[in-house]
Structures are given as structure tokens and as C-alpha cells.
Chain A
């Protein structure tokens, strides 16, 4: 199909060898000269007024360099709605509120000092469920908004709605309907590398911060605002991203601990490191939001969907992160997965005294798809149609514009459904009961960026040196997903050099061009397209200069050969005449003329060419930049309309399960995952993304839930918060990738970081229903819930 040299081939991931050797440096491994260790005093009340904070004992402890509170530092407002503060004053709103912080010469002393800080509180009544928050009007989590205007209720002022067609008409046209309420829990990202940072000021009061972030450039903006707040207007932040140790959305916001490290570094004049322990990570880092989704769908006699009505209620917790925009992504499947003419979608989010939430892989899509794809099966049953056939009947196709205005340049949903059904032996296995069952679920997600800001762009600088090496400076973040592997192969492919000659520099706002952030499955899509743009510019310049340089240099080649072998007879070829920019090509680091004879002397090594270009009077260096902004739209959120991504990914996952009705245990017999990926850029890396996402989907389905009691997280370790181990991932997984060769994708590829976990849980729930006739609507699906539901079955 393609004659690519590196795209679609398994080049070795550039950071692989260092990671295998233990030589990759994570924030945990970094030290700065003169560095102090910061530690945070978190609240031990959930909703209360602060009466007094006594730091005198902590300050006197030998080895303590600074003790800060909101009372002895400038006010630093943070967060998506600026409703949060680095350190809390007057009032605390959640168990994890930051009351004070210490910088000390070692972590043990810092910890000891924290225990010496005394806080007196006046407790307030707490709100711990969204229903209470909606009903409550006397207890307000926030009495005022960020501008000081009084608030009347606990609603988060972020709402995403979409209404199209006419719901009542759709309901009238429906012969069959199905409705239900489906819920999902708080889930922890559980990066193996915990959160942390080092903040350091130079003597001009400019800040450098080594941050575990996915948004270095937005973080730079956030931190620069904090510098203004602490009296350093006009000063700058440089954000450097060390090897990440996992992200999964946890780096999409800046966090209070980072601002606290900045305050401590400024107070002490020394670098300050704050590193979360696992216990702190579980208790004090923002998880994935919980959700309740009320859904009703209807179809006509033939099974065509006539309407869909969805209302989502989410518990935001005490403060607001970017995660509050989950419903903007929920709106995609809500309006556009399967064809539905009449749609209502609304989302509400409330403040409570629970831990505040943030982004996690899938960003609202797993939550919404959990409801939607369960309900699709229920409606199919009501209509007496096989759920696979039902999905086929309502499937999207390419070149469709959906009610939300999404434009599907390519769409292989039907193929995904068919292949998944085929591999599961759907026809033979479906509906046989006997404690074995098959189920499926599909997904739609962004795959060509996601314009949620005015810019959805990503920059790339390429610098060539005198040896044919290519240095890439890119603002995206490699968190393990393989961004740098894709960028390396994209540069090697489209410039025409060997992958081992491509060096990706560390992500650093001081050296790399702007990038909006590595989220929304956009990393590879953006970097790949930026690479194609930048390399094209470089090739144009190289080929232009080659008109002059190439003939002279290959002449030298020929002379050398003739010196060694005087009998050598070169093929007749007029190099000077053929040396026109449009005739040149470059592959694997050698420049050549396309229709020239295939002789060694007519191939010019890129390094030699570059030296000849550079090392002379009026010489030149070759550096270029490209700034890729995809052809997508910032949706009009008042209408819930707009083509937010340049292209979209689709997929269907199927699963066969066996249920032990004595214990309620579910065994996965087989999983099938078929995904429209546009183009496979790296088979091994792509498989790794999907295997890993499936494991997270399995965790979401069966195990993962942060238990919160009156606002306090109870399970703060891997004993009590279970993520899948190698023993749970013990079943055959059949992955199939469909290449639709999308016209907007780099080499035809779409972004694929998130989709793998989106349909996993509903596919499992649908299979369980097929096996035992029990539908669990509340994640995770535990043996206890299965047993309880079995008891209710007549």
C-alpha cells in the first residue's frame, strides 16, 4: 500500500534504552544544588473556618528554612475558574486543602515540622453528594465567585448543552424506548511516577520549574500570573518537563503544590522540591470526576433511532479544574455516535466538599459512553433487534455531518462493528445464556486535535548540524505514549534521514515553540503534521541550495573514486544540467537527483552538504520552524455546535465473559478491539497504547473506585485501590486496526491515545447481561453487585 520507510515500521522508541538502563531522569531523581524539600500541611477538617494557625513550633525546628501560610504570603489565586488558592485563608472546603507548607534541609525534618503546625477550626456543615448540593441553598461551598460577587447556589458556572431537532417529535415517532440512570465513580489516574516539581529562582527573580505537566506552555502562563501575584510583574517562568512517569490527564492543570513550591523557593532563595508520596497522590491529587447520566432513547419499528435525551450530573468537588469541561467531550458521543435526528443533551456540575476533580484519559467520554452503550443494548432488546444489527442499522458513515456539526472525513464504524462481531463468533454465541455471554460497545472520539481554546496549534523547530543530525524542539510532552517515537519516524520519513540521526530535545518552554498541551489524543496528530510542514520547508531550502553545492561536491566524490580506481568508468551524466531544485530528492540522509544513474558518487551525504553550505564565507545554517494549526473549529458552546476536531476516531470492542453465579466473579474469556486509526504509524507503539488503555478500561469496569467518606478518601494505597495486575490481564486480546487513510492526518493517521478505554466497560456490561440477564448500571461491576442483582432476578 504505502512505500514509507519508517512510518508503519517498528522503529525503536528513542527513550527506550535509557529507560531500560535506569538512566532516564524523572522528577523523583532530580536534584538542584542547595535544594530544600517542601512539605504541605493539609487540612484535617472538610468544611470549616480557620480560626488560627500556629506555626511557631515548626519555625523553631532546626533545619526548617521557611514555614508559609496564606497569612504570611501573597494571595495566589489558581484554577480554571480561579476559585482555588495556593494556600487557604479563612475557610477550607475539602479535606485536602493546603493550610501551610514547610521548606527544610531534608524531607524528614519537613515532615516533622508539618506535624508541629497547630490549626484551630470552626466546623461548618458539609455537602457530600450532588443531590444535596443541588437542594442546598444555605450552605454554600463558595460564598462568592473569583470576582467577589455573591453566589446563590452551589452550581459550577460551566454548562454544556445541545438541543437539535425536536425531542417531542422524536418521542412520538418512537415505537420503542429505553431509559435508565447510569453512574461512574471517582477514579485515580495512578501514574507510576507520583506528582512533584522543583521550583528555583535566579538572581533576577525569573523562575525555572521542573514540572510533571502535560501543558508546559499553559503552565508557563499560569505561573507567570502567580509571579505577578507575588509582586514579580514582568518576570518569566521557564517550564522544563523531565521524563514524566505517566500522565493520563493528571498534568492538564497546574496544581497548588506547584505554586507552594514557587512560594517556598521565593521565600528561601533556594530551589525547593515537593514530591508526593503514593499516599498523598491518592489523597491529595485530583481524580477523574464521578458522574450520573440519565438517558432515554427511542427507535421506530424498524430500529432507527428517533430521539436521544441525556442529562448529566457531576460532582465537581470543592474547586474547579479544566476537568469541568468534560461535558464538552461528552457532547460528541451524545450527539454524534450513531445517527439520531432529535437530541437533548444537558450537563450540570455542582460544588461539594468532596475532593476536587480533574482530567483523566477519555475526558468524559468513558462516562457518557457507559450510559449510552448500555442503553443502546436495552433499546435493542426492547425493539427485539440484535444489538449488533441495531448498531449497524444506526451506524455513522464517512462524509457525514452530525447534528453537532462534526464532519467525519473518514469513518470505519461499520467495519469495526462487523469485524468485532465476526471475531467474537457473535451469531453463534449471542443469546445462548448459560452464564456465558458476548457484548459489544463502540466509541467516537476526537482524533484530529480538539479546539477548546482559540489556538489548537503545535510548533516544531528543526535544527540541522554539520553532521547531518536533526535536532527537534517540540512543545508536546512524551509521557510514555510514544510521542517521540512518532515524531522521530515522521521527521525521518518526511525529511529523508535515518531515524537515529533525529534527536528530540527535552520539552522546555525556553527552547521549544508553543504547543497547547498533550491532551485530547492530539500529540501524534499535531507533531506529525508539524513535522511534515517543517521538513517540507527544509527540503525546499536544501534542494534550492543543492543547485549550487551538489555538482561541486559529487565532482569531489568522483575524483576520489578515480584516484582509488583509475579504470572506473562513470555513466555519462550531466550533473550541472540536472541539478535543478525540482529534480532533487533525499532519502536516509543522502541527497540525489531523481533520474540520475544509481552510482555511489551521485549520492551526497547530508552532513557533507551541510558543511559545504555552512563552512564558507557567507555560509548558512539550516534551522526551520513550523506551526501547525488544524482545520477544526472552536464550537459555539451556546448552541453546542461546531466541528471541534479535524477528524474523528471510531472503534468497537467486544468481549466474551463467563459469570460464576455462586461468587459473582466475572471471567473474561476473550476481548476483541477493532479501531479506525487512520494509519498505523508504529505497530508496536499503537498496540501498546491499546493494550494499556484496555487495562485501564478493565480497571474502570471491575475494580477502580476512590472511596470517599464525608469527603475523605479512604483507599490511599494500591492494596485498597486496585488497578489491574498482570494476573487480571490474563485473557486473549485480539486487536485489529483499520486504516482509513484520513486526508487530514499525518500520513493518514488519527490520534489514538484515549479511545482504547472508552467502550471497554459497557462492552463488558452488555456481555454480562447476555450471560445472566443482569444489568449493572453503576461502575465498578463488583461481584457483590452481581450477586445482589441476581437475587432480584425473579
Chain B
């Protein structure tokens, strides 16, 4: 049975018909073709599918699609600026060597985005806490932490 839902996706108002059993990640990847959000475990253990819902980081693999009715969803595709350039945070990931295979990267960046939006000057412990649910097999996380610190510094300078 399909339901119509309305929500905002990366700043654009959406109205879509979806099957009720879908997860948010299925809507994004399979129905809307937005494959930036990755699925690496399907049970909320790895954070590769992290998106923002009303500004907070959620695993889109655990998020029932009907529950996004009326909410504001931001995915990795929504972070680029008006000129289509990488955001300060994304650039910091690139410049800090925080990306290797890149499969965890969109989720990592979305977790970092949620953190920095709420807490522009996080301590290292706060950065670690924000990545509690994000696994990476390539980097050992060191340069990911460096990327968030760099982004926080740059964002502070620009505001």
C-alpha cells in the first residue's frame, strides 16, 4: 500500500508516494536515485547512511520513511554551496587526508555537520562522541578528527 508524504529534501519541497515498509535510505537511493548516502550494514551499526533530519544525525537505514512527513532532510548531496562547490566541511575532509576508500565518508561528513551546526567549537572528546556510530576501516580516524578541527577553525574564521 502506498502513502503520499511531504517533506523537505536538501531545501526542496517534495511530495512522493511510497510503500509503507520502506526505510528512508530506500527512498533516497532506490526511488530518488540519490546514491551519495551509503548502506554498509543495514542495522544502524556503521553510520555510513547518516543523514540529517531536522538538523540531527540519524541512520537512514533505521528510519521508517513515513516518519519523515513534514520534516527537513539533508543528505550529502545537499551540502554543496549555491555555486555547486564543496562546503568548508567537505573540503576539510579532502584536504586533511580524511578520505580513503570513501564509503564511510558521506556518513562521517553528515555526522560532523550535525556536530558543527550544534557546537561550532567542539573539543576532541566531543568530536569523538559525535562519531560514536560511524565506522571506518581505512583511516584509523586520526585524519577524520583533524578534518573536523580544520573545518571548525575555518567556519569560525568565516562567521
Determine whether B97 belongs to the interface, using a CB cutoff of 8 Å to chain A: yes
A729 touches B141 (CB 8 A): yes
Q: Nearest residue in B to A244 (C-beta to C-beta)? A: B101
Q: Are B138 and A21 in contact (CB under 8 A)?
A: no
A28 in contact with B142 given A17-B86, A192-B135, A726-B131 (CB within 8 Å): no
Residues of A within 8 Å of B96, CB to CB, are 684
Segment 78-105 of B: residues with Cβ below 8 Å from A: 79-80, 86, 90-91, 93-97, 99-105
A246-B103, A727-B128 as given contacts; A691 in contact with B94, CB under 8 Å: no
B29 — which chain A residues lie within 8 A by C-beta?
A: 29
Are A278 and B41 CB-contacts (below 8 A) given A17-B94, A20-B93, A723-B137? yes
- Residues on B with C-beta less than 8 A from A718 are 41, 45-46, 135
Judged by a CB distance under 8 angstroms, whether B43 is at the interface is yes
Are A719 and B45 closer than 8 Å at their CB atoms?
yes
Most chain A CB atoms below 10 A, which of B76, B80, B138: B138
A247: nearest chain-B partner, CB-CB = B101
Inter-subunit contact B136/A20 (CB<8 Å): no
Q: Contact between B100 and A688 (Cβ–Cβ < 8 Å)?
A: yes
Q: Is there contact, CB below 8 Å, between A688 and B139? A: yes
Total of A-B residue pairs, C-beta within 8 Å:
163
Interface string of A684-703 (1 = CB under 8 A from B): 11011011111110000000
Instruction: For the complex, give the distance between the alpha carbons of A248 and B103 in Å.
Output: 14
Given A20-B109, A726-B132, decide whether A687 and B76 contact each other with a Cβ distance below 8 A: no
Q: Which residues of B contact A144 (CB under 8 A)?
A: none
In the bound complex, residues from chain B placing their C-beta under 8 Å from that of A685 are 97
Interface string of A723-736 (1 = CB under 8 A from B): 11111011001000
* B contact residues around A690 at 8 Å (CB): 140
CB distance from A788 to the nearest CB of B (A): 29
Set of chain B residues within 8 Å of A174, measured between Cβ atoms: none
Question: Which of A23, A245, A692, A727 is within 8 Å of B36, CB to CB?
Answer: A23
Chain A residues near B86 (CB-CB < 8 A): 17, 20-21
User: Is A24's beta carbon under 8 Å from chain B?
Assistant: yes
Q: Is the CB of A479 within 8 A of B101?
A: yes
User: Nearest CB to that of A22 among chain B residues?
Assistant: B36
Contacts of B95 in A (CB 8 A): 12
Known pairs A21-B76, A727-B132; A692 contacts B41 (CB<8 A): no
Q: A19-B102, A192-B46, A278-B43 are in contact. Are A246 and B142 (CB under 8 A)?
A: no
Q: When A22-B106, A29-B35, A718-B46 are in contact, do A688 and B40 touch as well, CB less than 8 Å?
A: no
Query: Cβ of B144 < 8 Å from any Cβ of A?
Result: yes
Contacts of B144 in A (CB 8 A): 726
Q: Complex: how many Å from CA A522 to CA B139?
A: 19
* A20 near B90: Cβ-Cβ < 8 Å: yes
Please measure, in the bound complex, the distance between the C-alpha atom of A26 and the C-alpha atom of B34, giving whole angstroms.
13
Partner of B48, one of A192, A687, A723: A192
Q: Does A614 make an interface contact (CB < 8 A)?
A: no
Contact: B43 with A717, CB < 8 Å? Answer: yes
Q: Does B6 contact A (CB under 8 A)?
A: no
Instruction: Give chain B's interface secondary structure class.
Output: loop
Residues of chain B contacted by A17 (CB below 8 angstroms): 86, 90, 94
Chain A neighbourhood of B139, CB < 8 A:
688, 691-692, 695
Q: A22-B75, A22-B106, A246-B138 are in contact. Are A692 and B100 (CB under 8 A)?
A: yes
Q: CB-defined interface of A1-24 with B at 8 Å, one 1/0 digit per residue?
A: 000000000101101110111111
Q: Can you list, as one digit per residue, whether each of B115-142 has a CB less than 8 Å from chain A (1) or not (0)?
A: 0000000000000100110111111111
Report how far A688 CA is from B139 CA in the complex, Å.
Answer: 6
Q: Which of B41, B75, B137 has the most CB of A within 10 A?
A: B137
Determine the chain B residues whose CB is within 8 A of the CB of A687 once the complex forms: 97, 142-143
Does B64 lie at the interface of the complex (its beta carbon under 8 Å from any beta carbon of A)?
no
Contact, CB under 8 Å: B101 / A193: yes
Interface assignment of A25: CB less than 8 Å from any CB of chain B: yes
Q: B37 near A: Cβ within 8 Å?
A: yes
Chain A residue with the shortest CB-CB distance to B40: A192
Pick the residue among A19, A26, A29 that contacts B99 (CB under 8 A): A19
Tell which of B39, B76, B140, B145 touches A22, judged by Cβ atoms closer than 8 Å.
B76
Chain A window 704-723, contacts with chain B (Cβ cutoff 8 Å), 1 for yes, 0 for no: 00000000000001110001
List of A residues within 8 angstroms of B132 by Cβ: 725-727
Q: How far is the CB of B3 from chain A (nearest CB, A)?
A: 18
Set of chain A residues within 8 Å of B138, measured between Cβ atoms: 192, 246, 480-481, 688, 692
Minimum Cβ distance to chain A for residue B61 (Å): 10
Cβ of A20 and Cβ of B105 under 8 Å apart? yes
Q: Which residues of A line the B interface, CB within 8 A? A: 10, 12-13, 15-17, 19-26, 28-29, 190-194, 243-248, 277-279, 479-482, 684-685, 687-688, 690-696, 717-719, 723-727, 729-730, 733
Considering the complex of A and B, which 8 residue pairs feature the smallest CB-CB distances, nearest first?
A: A22-B36, A480-B101, A19-B102, A691-B140, A22-B76, A480-B100, A695-B140, A684-B97
Sampled A-B contacts (23; CB under 8 Å): A10-B97, A13-B97, A19-B102, A19-B105, A20-B93, A20-B102, A22-B34, A22-B77, A22-B105, A191-B103, A191-B137, A192-B135, A193-B101, A246-B101, A246-B103, A277-B42, A688-B138, A691-B143, A696-B137, A718-B46, A726-B134, A726-B136, A726-B141
Given contacts A21-B76, A26-B103, A692-B100, 12 further A-B contacts (CB under 8 A): A13-B94, A20-B99, A28-B38, A191-B137, A245-B102, A278-B41, A687-B143, A692-B137, A717-B43, A718-B46, A725-B135, A729-B142
